[in-house]
Structure 1
Amino acid sequence: MGRKGQGHTPKHVFKANNQQNLTKEEKELLDNIDKLLRISTIPQQPNILKAIENNKEISSITDRIKVLEVHKDSSVSVGNRTTAATIDCFTKWVTENGAEFNGCSIVEFKGYELGLKVNTDIPQSSLVVAVPRKLMISMETANKSELGHLMEKDQILKNMHNVTLAIFLLLEKFKEDSFWKPYINILPKTYTTVLYFTTEELEELRGSPTLEIALRQIKSIARQYAYFHKLFNSSEDAVSRLMRNKFTFKEYCWAVSTVMTRQNTIPSLDGGNMINALIPLWDMCNHTNGTISTDYNPQLDRSECLALKDFKPGEQFFIFYGARTNADLFIHNGFVYEDNVHDGYWIRLGISRSDPLEEKRKELLKRLSISPTSEFFIRKGSEPIDGELLAFLRIFNMNQEQLQHWLDSDRSGDLQYAACALDTSVEKKSWNFLLARLKLLLGIYRTTLEEDIELLKESQLTGNKRLAVRMRATEKKILRDTAEYVEQFVKQ
């Protein structure tokens, strides 16, 4: 009985001894981690100015943390991904493990870094890239690894699959003998996601609804980092022992950005559900307009990518990432695609509680399955206004008699159609209201679209500032074009 407890140190004693042996810098780091967790846990401020101030606090703390952790980063940083040796090593690794990429090679493209260069004629719908499951980093891969034990106990790792992929990616990056080392070495060293923006660069988005999303994203990642830092430093499993010596804020931002910009979904091994995965080689393909041309082949247990159009030698091989707005691409992929046919702008409208006709408006909206407070999507293109927004505008601007007329009618669904037989006064008020709102939204920005266009011609802009200016410019173009569209109806 007496021998059983020999050599065992209670956890609270272990922690106390650890605290006593810390250097001044290590104590300062832990203090900053506590401060970061506290500040990043505060609910998102509805006032954008307060949210920016909160971001400045977070940025100040994480800047200091990066200085205190710099000695951990140096030995594990990713090297130059564009060297011939790195590309050759990766190419050899994927092909030896069953991947195919037909008629293409990996090269550097200006403005894109690495991509796939077409070497021969590639007809539309022909197979270009095929990647077997064994090369992918997925939730199943993580669960089968030493991380699986921690995943069982930790609710965040169990439920937030993108976070789990980021932690597993770091775990493999920190190993000397990782199977995925050739893949990790060819990944970007840094990204253009908002996690790499300074507060000054973020403030270029003042007036843009994308700024609020960006601030929320940064705050969430800061909170996750602080949480995992504390978890790894208070646990004694194999993963925590490795991670506590190498896990840093800089490394976590890199891993999260890698997952955000590259993750896809594949069927689970049993085919019962879809799971998140990183797909080496496939993620070398850059984005263009088109249709989804990637699917999973269950018979061959691999992801397959077909050509979405005919490609000629010398061209870059592109794929379509999906119907995403530029705000989505900016936040999750770190770029803006100016020719994006799926772009749009979300406008928030609601029925005021002080409106004496609130209940009647809400009742009529309910019949059309429209929430009394909603975000409506204004599409890029010649037909920016959809039926839901049109119906909301009309109901919002009706008087009591008009509302009652449509409540008594069995054709309230007609309110979603442009050709609806409606009182001229309601139609006029609806379009005028929308035009005023569009002009108000344009006026919130600190610059005009014309000023942005001139600014983008300047060579001294940092990459992130240029990206932010391009982001807000695409929003302004949609608002301007929609205002011009609405003015046609106002003048009628």
Structure 2
Amino acid sequence: MERKESGKKSSALNNHNEMKVLINKLLQISAVPQEKDVSKLLENHKDMTVIIETIKKLQKKVVTEDKNRTSGRTCPAIIERFTNWFKENGAELEGCDIREIENYGLGFITNTKIPEFSLVISVPKKLMLTVDAAKKTPLKQLIEKDDLLGNMPNITLAVFLLYEKYKSESFWKPYIDILPNTYNTVLYFTVDELLELKGSPTFEKALCINKCIIRQFAYFYKLFNTSEDSVSHIMRKRFSFEDYCWAVSSVMTRQNKVPSENGITRIDALIPLWDICNHMNGTITTDYNPDLKRCECLALKTYQPGEQFFIFYGERSNAELFLYNGFVYEENEHDIYWIQLGISKDDPLREQRTELLKMFSFELNESFFLTKDGEPINDGILKFIYIFKMNQEHLEYWLKSEGYNFSLCLNIQESWSFLQTRLKLLLGTYKTTIEEDLKLLQEEQLSPNRKLAIRMRLTEKMILKKGIDYADRMIERNAIESIEKIQI
């Protein structure tokens, strides 16, 4: 018996020492400055992933499992316990039932007609997990001591969520149990699944998010294992990479802003019940009622019985929804594609271009976006290109002029052709075509994350294609107008 106990202690010590070495390696690799070269950023991610996989195997051996956790959030007992909890604590849900909905997970299904702007959900502040609430727990000591927790409220909220999950008893347990076990955020993507985004501007952002969270995990693992406060004692027994990804994803996909207790600032919050709502196009119909100290959600349209009750998350592009919410919304009326335009350091007319760009409040390197709906290309992009394409004579003229009708002296055709070529080059950076992506999405054997990545890049390609077609029409129109002028 003594030999078995001795063997367990020896094994635990070896695991602890191995974890210590791996965490230090992770901190070292993740400290590499942000690379501008995406291929180098990818290699850095691969190096970190190798270490993370070893850490996950080690932590499965030593991290205590949650014996009170049921198999899934859609379990009737979990939903019933959550429902009783929010009702007992003053939250209200009118005209809807919590149901599992295909392709959505949990959501609300209406059980009666709900008129537009009717109050459907109300959640008192005492039910919300907030940074203010975190500071009323033993976590306060760590928040005041640690710069990362003190300066990054969203990270504080993720740690607070884990702390409440790990406690033997938590007021928020019915809420924590109804949260998803896993997410479709980029933190859950394998390297191969992330590679589906290659060529997309979202690819670099996804790698950066992963790098940031991996470094945070290593940082907190070391903090919890070297601190002697009561929170660290609880956290160090169960804190794992998988749990940290879960907590961060819970916050990323669900966080909102509510007034702080002093009423001056707004703080990060997780709002139980309200965060079960899924997204559709519309207008924001959720707000905080300071008099009743609760979050209130109104119906954004009239609902008939049996419909899913949706809310509008706000004007977010599909890239934002993909990176921070874990889904892509093809009907997104606010979807955009960002492009970068800049003046080369080797441009002999760089100084004059810089001066003229400043007159229009442009930077030397500027970000513009193409839109999904309406005309995809705005005047801002064209003005920048006009300045980019000006010769010395035109630059000198416009620097002295008080009028800015560029079309009077510039070859508009040349500017549109330049933009069209640029958009074609961006579309060409993807390794597949639109048609190939549509075909790939029909394959059943693809993992959900791989399908999600394909859908993400497809929405980007559709916007680029629309921009190219629009530029083509403008080139054709300008050519016709030029011919007509010559004939006159």
Name the TM-score, length of structure 2 as normaliser.
0.94
Question: 38-47 or 163-172: which moved more?
Answer: 38-47
8 Å CA contact 1:78, 1:184 repeated in 2:
no
* 1:451 equivalent among 436, 443, 452: 436
How far 1:381 moved relative to its partner? Answer: 1.9
8 Å CA contact 1:81, 1:187 repeated in 2:
yes
| Alignment partner, residue 476 of structure 1 | 461
- Match status 1:347 vs 2:339: yes
Aligned length: 467
How far 1:78 moved relative to its partner? Answer: 6.2
| Alignment partner, residue 122 of structure 2 | 130
Gaps of 5+ in 2: 1-8, 479-488
- Distance in 1 (alpha carbons) for counterparts of 2:265 and 2:130: 13
- Match status 1:236 vs 2:222: no
| Alignment partner, residue 353 of structure 2 | 361
- Distance in 2 (alpha carbons) for counterparts of 1:42 and 1:221: 14
- Match status 1:423 vs 2:409: yes
* 2:24 equivalent among 34, 39, 46: 34
| Alignment partner, residue 421 of structure 2 | 436
- Distance in 1 (alpha carbons) for counterparts of 2:122 and 2:66: 33
| Alignment partner, residue 106 of structure 2 | 114
Alignment of 1:22-421 (within 5 A): 23-71=13-61, 72=63, 74-75=65-66, 79-412=71-404, 414=405, 421=407
Give the aligned residue type for 1:57: D
Give the aligned residue type for 1:136: M
- Distance in 2 (alpha carbons) for counterparts of 1:259 and 1:376: 29
Question: 263-272 or 179-188: which moved more?
Answer: 263-272
Q: Which runs of 4+ in 1 moved over 6 A?
A: none
Query: Deviations 1:260-292 (Å, cap 9, x if unpaired)?
Result: 000000011121011000000000000001111
How far 1:20 moved relative to its partner? Answer: 9.6
How far 1:176 moved relative to its partner? Answer: 2.0
Q: Which secondary structure state, in structure 2, belongs to the residue aligned with residue 23 of structure 1? A: helix
Q: Which secondary structure state, in structure 1, belongs to the residue aligned with residue 295 of structure 2? A: strand
Cα distance change on mapping 1:116 and 1:487 into 2, 3 Å: same
Query: Deviations 1:430-469 (Å, cap 9, x if unpaired)?
Result: 1111111101011111100110000001111100000000
Q: Which secondary structure state, in structure 2, belongs to the residue aligned with residue 378 of structure 1? A: strand
- Distance in 2 (alpha carbons) for counterparts of 1:292 and 1:55: 37
Q: Which secondary structure state, in structure 2, belongs to the residue aligned with residue 459 of structure 1? A: coil
Q: Which secondary structure state, in structure 2, belongs to the residue aligned with residue 69 of structure 1? A: helix
How far 1:21 moved relative to its partner? Answer: 9.5
Question: 42-51 or 199-208: which moved more?
Answer: 42-51
8 Å CA contact 1:370, 1:388 repeated in 2:
no
Query: What RMSD, in angstroms, separates the aligned Cα atoms of the two structures?
Result: 1.4
Give the aligned residue type for 2:40: K
| Alignment partner, residue 6 of structure 1 | none
- Distance in 1 (alpha carbons) for counterparts of 2:267 and 2:108: 26
- Distance in 1 (alpha carbons) for counterparts of 2:239 and 2:146: 17
Q: Which secondary structure state, in structure 2, belongs to the residue aligned with residue 75 of structure 1? A: coil
Cα distance change on mapping 1:78 and 1:149 into 2, 3 Å: farther
| Alignment partner, residue 5 of structure 1 | none
Name the TM-score, length of structure 1 as normaliser.
0.93
- Match status 1:464 vs 2:454: no
Cα distance change on mapping 1:90 and 1:445 into 2, 3 Å: same
How far 1:47 moved relative to its partner? Answer: 1.2
Gaps of 5+ in 1: 1-18, 416-420
Give the aligned residue type for 2:194: L
8 Å CA contact 1:73, 1:251 repeated in 2:
no
Work out the percentage of aligned pairs sharing the same amino acid: 54
Question: 293-302 or 35-44: which moved more?
Answer: 35-44
- Distance in 1 (alpha carbons) for counterparts of 2:94 and 2:262: 29
